[in-house]
Amino acid sequence: MQIRQFLDRPTATLSYLLACPESGRAIMIDPVDDDLALYLGVLDEMKWQLDNILETHLHADHVSAAGKLRRATGAMIACGDAKIETADHLLREGEQIVAGTLQLKVITTPGHTPSCLSYQCGDRLFTGDCLLIGDCGNLSDAGADAGRLYDSITRKLLRFSDETLLYPGHEQQGRQVSCIGDERRNNPLFCGVSRDEFIARIALRPCTIPPHSAEIIAINRRCGLPYSQSTPPSLS
């Protein structure tokens, strides 16, 4: 697998472009609107054909580039949240997304939002805002649930092997990649912490709501496009 990781500095968002080395078929995860030209440049330079655009969740901190990328490349948009009204496909637990020899498996990891997804591709996990490096996603969303987030992380993600690489949805203190062994041994929110203790700790954390989140969510329900440019709902 070929992989490119992109950092959107203003929001510390990490996005990913994965490609099959044999066929050049590619998959994008969590594209950011401000970085659209960069993605198109890489696709062009590498001669990759984008087949799928995946959202890990309905983002509140940055505008998605999914709709514009679909228009530029013909790729399909898939996600786990029916609130993203103009996506092409609603993903379910265990579903496979294929592009050339690339195979991504869908893992439902609710908590940060009710419909968060993580994606497994071989020995790599793309966890969005569920499991972060030494941390977890915030719980400022109206549907956020600390208990479900704890269950998603401890029962699903931290059960992968030590060597499994963790590619999160945000940079943390300059770190952009970790591994499951490191998180199981060192993540202070989960290492030796019970579910009840986690819920109590999270309740004490300051609730930071991203600026303009209501407007950003409204745009991201249309895959990052204004009303006039969004396509009709076609969830399957």
Residues that bind Fe ion (CB under 5 A): 129
Q: Are 59 and 68 in contact (CB under 8 A)?
A: no
Angle, helix 36-46 to helix 66-73, in steps of 10 degrees = 30
Nearer to Fe ion, 88 or 129 (CB): 129
Q: Is 218 helix (H, G, I), strand (E, B) or coil?
A: helix
Cα–Cα dist 168/176, whole Å: 7
Nearer to Fe ion, 25 or 59 (CB): 59
Nearer to Fe ion, 11 or 178 (CB): 11
Q: Could you tell me if residue 62 is left (phi over 0), alpha (psi between -120 and 50 degrees) or otherwise beta?
A: beta
Structure tokens at 47: 């001669």
Nearer to Fe ion, 12 or 40 (CB): 12
Backbone angles phi, psi at 182, to 5 degrees: -60, -45
Cα–Cα dist 125/182, whole Å: 14
Buried b / exposed e over 9-27, threshold 16 CB at 10 Å, is eebbbbbbbbbbeeebbbb
Rounded least distance, CB 138 to Fe ion, Å: 7
Rounded least distance, CB 131 to Fe ion, Å: 12
Nearer to Fe ion, 33 or 129 (CB): 129
Cα–Cα dist 223/230, whole Å: 8
Rounded least distance, CB 187 to Fe ion, Å: 18
Backbone angles phi, psi at 132, to 5 degrees: -110, 170
Rounded least distance, CB 141 to Fe ion, Å: 7
Rounded least distance, CB 203 to Fe ion, Å: 19
Q: Which residue is nearest to Fe ion (CB)?
A: 129
Cα–Cα dist 128/118, whole Å: 6
Q: Are 108 and 119 in contact (CB under 8 A)?
A: no
Nearer to Fe ion, 25 or 170 (CB): 170
Rounded least distance, CB 113 to Fe ion, Å: 7
